[in-house]
């Protein structure tokens, strides 16, 4: 049997707990229904005894205990009953619940009783019959309702607890990733300062200018990476910036460093307004998704970044012609630590989603993907 990864085990436990909850609920309802069925049969027998008591009183049977018969009638304080003649005319009623006891309400209750059970005949005289209609008692109705109410309360409590624990766990994960990112930026700061000093010495010693220029470019790139890590988790407000310039720079930078026969395309509208953003972090998000798309194509293919203006939003679709994702991968792709690569921490997309949702009040999600058909990630930013 193949070994399951942590996400498969977590989903398996969720499924087992969910099925166990359904089983407990179903067993509770089944037991309640069995119990209420027996009580319903007992109530039916009590109504039959009431009918027999009426017959004994009417017939004046000398062997009948009229006191007992009267007592049987008086003891019924919970079962709703309606007595009618052979033509369905209401003669008497007992234990009808509700504030409305008008003739119309009693007629409506009689129709419900007709649907509930067959009437019990009362033989008064040869050819003269009356009929008793009944409904379930208040106690029986409460017994039938109570388990459903209790299961609903328990279910709501479990959902609320799960939501609370999930939010707490997510907040804890955010603190861990944020702390890790800032610590990484801090650790990068010292060697970067030293390297800047060494480039100055190289220039003074007459090193090759072209080589020094390339070193400075890479150092600037490392400084940008450090700045990105240091800004994760900050509450800095977004300021309107030139999104077109940021996207062109990112695509050009990655195109020059793209492996194999990978083509990057950028499709922009004619007029792209300035967008509230944190340029360093937003550029990292776009670059991260573009890199993932390039990795998914294994050296050959095309990545297209298309920007749309829709009402008060900017939509950025990053589509690749790579291997695509199955349903399980799509559900897990933004979870911290999840990765399909042999190398990597699985934090890129998780941090990217946090940057878009928390820092830019937008959305980042898988717009479409299928095995063998490539993937499309969508970034939504408010204007």
We report the CATH number of the domain holding residue 358 as 3.30.565.10
Residues 213, 330, single domain; the answer is no
Cα 235-163-357 angle, rounded to 5 deg: 30
**pLDDT reported for residue 373:** 86
Is residue 1 situated within a structural domain? no
Q: Are residues 281 and 365 in the same domain?
A: yes
Who has greater pLDDT, 200 or 377?
377
Residue 320 phi, psi dihedral angles, 5° rounding = -125, 170
For residues 131 and 150, membership in a common domain is answered with: no
Report the distance separating Cα 6 and Cα 13, nearest Å: 11
Assess if residue 223 is contained within a domain: no
- Boundaries of domain holding 300: 236-382
Q: Looking at the structure, do residues 189 and 314 belong to the same domain, yes or no?
A: no
Across the chain, mean pLDDT equals 80
Distance CA 182, CA 229 (A): 6
Taking the C-alpha atoms of residue 51 and residue 38, their distance in angstroms, rounded to an integer, is 20
Q: What is the pLDDT of residue 261?
A: 82
What's the pLDDT tens digit per position in 129-182?
888 888 877 777 777 788 888 888 888 888 888 888 888 877 777 777 677 777
Same domain, 116 and 17: yes
pLDDT at residue 318 tops 90: yes
Query: Is residue 261 included in any domain, yes or no?
Result: yes
Instruction: Note whether 132 and 31 are same-domain residues.
Output: yes
Output the pLDDT for position 75: 66
Q: What is the structure's pLDDT at 315?
A: 92
* Nearest CA-CA partner of 31 in 117, 138, 135, 146: 146
Distance of CA 317 to the CA centre of its chain: 25
Tens digits of residue pLDDT in 13-30: 778 888 888 888 888 888
CA distance 255 to 250: 9
Is residue 224 situated within a structural domain?
Answer: no
Q: Is the residue at 150 inside a domain?
A: yes
pLDDT, position 157: 86
Annotate 225-276 with DSSP letters as a single string: HHHHHHHTT--PPPEEE-HHHHHHHHHHHHHHT--SEEEEEEE--S----EE
- Same domain, yes or no, for 116 and 151? no
Mean pLDDT of 285-314: 87
Q: Is residue 318 part of a domain?
A: yes
Which of 4-8, 79-83, 352-356 shows the lowest per-residue confidence on average (mean pLDDT)? 4-8
Task: Note if the pTM is more than 0.75.
Answer: no
Whether 118 and 166 map to the same domain: the answer is no
Sign of the Cα torsion 35, 39, 40, 41 reads: positive
Give me the mean pLDDT over the 351-374 stretch.
87
- Region 119-134: mean pLDDT is 81
Residue 78: pLDDT over 60 = yes
Domain tally, the chain: 3
Q: Has residue 377 got a pLDDT over 90? A: yes
Same-domain check for residues 377 and 240: yes
Which CATH number fits the domain that encloses residue 113? 3.30.450
CA distances from 75 to 70, 71, 79, 130 (A): 9, 6, 10, 21
Would you say residue 231 lies in a domain? no
CA distances from 101 to 239, 263, 302 (A): 69, 81, 77
- Give the pLDDT confidence of 203-245 residue by residue, as tens digits: 888 778 888 888 888 888 788 778 777 777 666 677 888 999 9
Which are the contacts of 25, defined by CB distance < 8 A and separation ≥ 6? 151, 155
Rounded Cα distance, 202 and 196, in Å: 10
Residues 61 and 167 in one domain: no
> Are 16 and 108 part of one and the same domain?
yes
Question: Do 153 and 105 belong to one domain?
Answer: no
Q: Is the pLDDT of residue 316 over 90?
A: yes
Task: State the Cα–Cα distance between residues 186 and 227, nearest whole angstrom.
Answer: 10
Domain-embedded: residue 124: yes
| Residue where a domain stops, chosen among 136, 163, 188 | 136
Compute the distance between CA of residue 308 and CA of residue 316 in angstroms, rounded to an integer.
Answer: 6
Residue 1 has a pLDDT of 45
| Terminal CA-CA length for the chain | 51
Of 136, 155, 177, the residue that ends a domain is 136
Domain end call among 136, 161, 176: 136
Asked if pLDDT for residue 122 goes beyond 50, the answer is yes
Q: Round to whole Å and give the CA distance between 220 and 235.
A: 24
E strand intervals along 139-246? 239-241
Predicted local distance difference test score (pLDDT) of residue 363 = 92
Res. 66 pLDDT band, cuts 50 70 90: very low
- Identify which has the larger pLDDT, 375 or 259: 375
């Amino acid at each position: 049997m193949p070994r399951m990864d942590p996400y498969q085990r977590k989903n398996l436990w969720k499924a087992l707990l969910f099925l166990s909850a359904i089983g407990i609920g179903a067993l509770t309802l089944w037991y309640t229904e069995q119990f209420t069925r027996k009580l319903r049969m007992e109530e039916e027998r009590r109504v039959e005894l009431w009918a027999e008591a009426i017959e004994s009183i009417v017939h004046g049977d000398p062997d009948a205990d009229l006191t007992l018969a009267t007592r049987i009638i008086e003891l019924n304080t919970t079962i709703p009953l309606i007595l009618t003649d052979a033509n369905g005319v209401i003669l008497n009623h007992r234990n009808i619940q509700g504030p409305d006891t008008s003739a119309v309400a009693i007629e409506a209750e009689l129709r419900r009783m007709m649907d509930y059970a067959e009437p019990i005949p009362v033989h008064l005289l040869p050819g003269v019959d009356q009929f008793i209609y009944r409904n379930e008692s208040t106690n029986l109705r409460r017994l039938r309702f109570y388990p459903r109410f209790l299961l609903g309360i328990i279910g709501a409590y479990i959902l609320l607890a799960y939501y609370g624990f999930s939010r707490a766990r997510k907040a804890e994960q955010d603190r861990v990733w944020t702390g890790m990112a800032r610590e990484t930026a801090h650790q990068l700061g010292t060697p970067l300062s030293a390297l800047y000093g060494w480039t100055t010495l190289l220039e003074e010693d007459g090193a090759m200018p072209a080589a020094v220029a390339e070193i400075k470019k890479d150092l600037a790139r490392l400084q940008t990476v450090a700045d990105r890590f240091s800004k994760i988790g900050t509450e800095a407000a977004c300021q309107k910036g030139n999104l077109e310039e940021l996207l062109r720079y990112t695509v050009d930078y990655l195109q020059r460093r793209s492996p194999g026969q990978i083509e990057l395309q950028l499709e922009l509208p004619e007029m792209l307004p300035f967008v509230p953003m944190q340029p360093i972090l937003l550029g990292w998000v776009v670059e991260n998704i573009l890199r993932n798309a390039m990795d998914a194509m294994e050296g050959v293919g095309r990545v297209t970044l298309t920007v749309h203006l829709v009402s008060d939003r900017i939509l950025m679709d990053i589509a690749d012609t790579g291997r695509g994702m199955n349903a399980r991968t799509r559900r897990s792709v933004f979870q911290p630590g999840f990765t399909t690569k042999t190398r990597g921490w699985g934090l890129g997309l998780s941090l990217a989603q946090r940057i878009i949702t928390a820092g830019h009040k937008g959305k980042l999600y898988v717009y479409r993907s299928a095995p063998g058909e490539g993937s499309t990630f969508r970034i939504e930013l408010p204007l």
